[in-house]
Structure 1
Amino acid sequence: MGVIDTKTWLKEYGEKPIKVCEQLKSYFKKMSAKEIYDLLSINGMYRPSIFNRNHQLEPFLEMDYWKVVQKYYTKLRKTWNGPDVPIFIFPVNERQQQIMNEFNGKSGLAFPDKLFLFLKSRVDEREIMALLTHEYHHVCRLKYVSKNERDVTLLDTILLEGLAEQAVRKYCGSQYNASWTAYYTDDELQTFYNEFMKPNKSLRISDEQYFDLLYGLKRYPKMLGYCVGFYIVDQCIRKHNLPFSKMEQLSSEEILNYFLS
């Protein structure tokens, strides 16, 4: 499958993203275009209230993101022997401060059978490669540890993010890691694990504290779950010399046991 021609959809329906999402209904079971758009917009897709064809869409369409992503996707899929999934590229919501500040104007959303990339109007090709590496690694990881959404734990999620960002380090270089990977020292991260993650690692997505811990909201350190997940994976690689290709196939509990041993 690979990259889908969303450029044509944007040219025709750009100011009406729900109309764009009509084109996605065959990829989502039993979801309306409005429900699909609500899901995607929460994760970074542009919003019509701030959308401007001249200032955002036209510069976005001028960038050949589709060709760049297809090139790197073909390479990654061959390297990882990963699933063949459709990839959808859309403009990002440039008013969403966390995306602009923490993720440098790019975001993504991965499923076991598809992935989405949300990009600002100007993104360096290597940064696109880093985002695709992160998100496509999610797709590959979900192949090994697929669970019903209601059964996914906070530990599952932070390790999913930690592994994906370690993939970026391995295949793109540490200079393309997200800024949050350098927020804290190892000593701080160990303390965060003991104090915040250890007692809450089995929380489900329906639990009130789940997203507060994952993103470091309210009283918690910024990007807490992401940072601790990256730290756990990094420690497993350093302490046990675990091959990355092996670790990405281990269960969350197996990875945690390596970290604690």
Structure 2
Amino acid sequence: MKALYRNILGMIFSVMLIFIIFVTSFEVVCYGSPDFYRNEFIKYDVTGSLEAWMGETMSLDDMCHVLDQTMVYLRGDRENLIIETTINGEPAFFYNENEASHMADVRVLFVKCLFLRAIFILTALAIAGFLIVVAKPGGALYYLSTSFIRVCGAILAVVLLIGVLAATDFTKYFTIFHEIFFRQGNWMFDPRESRMINMLPEGFFSDCALKIVLTFIASVLVVMALSIVITVFTRKHKDDR
């Protein structure tokens, strides 16, 4: 019976750890690569797109500044999206009301994920501490590592399936994502009227998604490999106390 509840706690710990890794992977990609956005802007010629669709000119540096401040806003470190830049050689605010409304919804989702990650970190530490007390360090490591291996296999299978589906038709699943998380419907924009959609084309998001998934899978595989090693060396401790 004691093995059952220890395994259950281990599985809860593992699910939370995987969520922590996912949110951290997202954060690393979005905030840990200073040149990523500039390179993407060059790749998709976003300044040229803005001029072609809206007849407006912006420098690449100004575009990067707008996105940098947007990312600060999305993690809750800036109060608003009133971002002044230079358009057609004149001072102007980049976002219109509809764009700011959608980005406010994105901010709510992202901040909630960051808050949930913090809660999961504390809860995971509490579970690990409890297992160390009731099963000794060796037993705790055994239950946590074996549980992670089991949960990890299922999660990776789901992630790979989603990745394959998204690769076949990114537009379809990008739309489904928005329909699920942004049901208010303020996420569709006309490139003739929206600077934001010219700055952030679909290809930009597909590149971000790919980089996040690869970072997440690589991180999970490292933890999984470590868990396998720990399992081998702590197997004898599974019945402690």
Higher relative contact order (CA 8 A, sep 6+): 2
Larger Rg: 2
Looking at secondary structure, tell me which structure has more strand per residue.
Answer: 1
Between Structure 1 and Structure 2, the one with more helix by share is: 2
Using structure 1 for the length normalisation, give the TM-score: 0.25
Relative to the length of structure 2, the TM-score reads: 0.26
